[in-house]
Amino acid sequence: KNEVEQSPQNLTAQEGEFITINCSYSVGISALHWLQQHPGGGIVSLFMLSSGKKKHGRLIATINIQEKHSSLHITASHPRDSAVYICAVRFNNYQLIWGAGTKLIIKP
Amino acid sequence: GAVVSQHPSWVICKSGTSVKIECRSLDFQATTMFWYRQFPKQSLMLMATSNEGSKATYEQGVEKDKFLINHASLTLSTLTVTSAHPEDSSFYICSARWGLRETQYFGPGTRLLVL
C-alpha cells in the first residue's frame, strides 16, 4: 500500500528557530514534492525532489531514497513562515499521494 | 513561474443549483489538469485527472455525473458541481502541468458554500 506520513502534525516555535518537518513513504517513488498552503488556502509548490538536496532561500529540502524519507528545513524562521506544509509523493504513476500536512506556527 | 488561475475565487449558491469553476493556465499549455477538494482541517483529496481532449479519470468514490470535468483546450479546464448540496461545500483547487514534467502548478482555489 502506498502511504505517506508526515511528522509532526503540529509545530509551534519561536521566531528564529530552526524548523524540521519530516516525511516518510512506504515504497519506491519517482518524485517527492513539498508544498506550502497559506491560511487562505493558496498552495505554493516549494520543491520537487527525486534525489539529494535542494535549497531556496531559507528553505532546504533533502531526500534519502534508501531510507524513504525526506525532510524540509526552515532556517531563521519567521512568523510569515506560518502555514501548513504538505509532502506529496508520486509512486511511479502521475498522481500524487498527499501527506496529512504539518501546521507550523512561528511566534514573534 | 507558471501561473494558474481559478474563477470564481468564492461562490455561494442555493441547494440544487449547479456551479461551474474554471481553471486556466495563463502562460503555458496544460496537457494535464488535476482537480482537488479540501474539507476544513483535512488534507487535499484528488478528485479527478483530466487530459486535454479526453475524458477525465475520476478517483474512487467521486461521482462523475455529479462533478463534471471538461478539458476542452490546453489552457482551460472546468469543474461543474451539478445539483449542489450543502455537503458539497468545500475548497476546490486545480493544478496543471504540461507534458510529462513532474511539477504541478496550483490555482488559488475556489471556496464553494452551498446553502
How is residue A87 written as a grid cell?
Answer: 509532502
Distance separating alpha carbons of residues B47 and B34, to the nearest angstrom: 8
Q: What percent of chain B has pLDDT over 90?
A: 53
Give B99's contacts in chain A (Cβ within 8 Å). Answer: none
pLDDT tens-digit map of A31-81: 888 999 877 667 777 888 889 999 999 999 999 999 999 999 999 999 999
- Looking at the DSSP bridge assignments, the partners of residue A55 are A60
Say if residue A21's pLDDT is above 60.
yes
Average confidence score pLDDT of chain A = 88
Give A94's contacts in chain B (Cβ within 8 Å). Answer: 32, 49, 100
Q: Does B102 contact A35 at a Cβ distance shorter than 8 Å?
A: no
Q: Does A94 contact B104 at a Cβ distance shorter than 8 Å?
A: no
Say if residue A24's pLDDT is above 80.
yes
- CA B112, A11, B108: angle at the middle one, nearest 5? 25
The order of strands in the sheet holding B19-25 is B4-7, B19-25, B76-81, B67-73
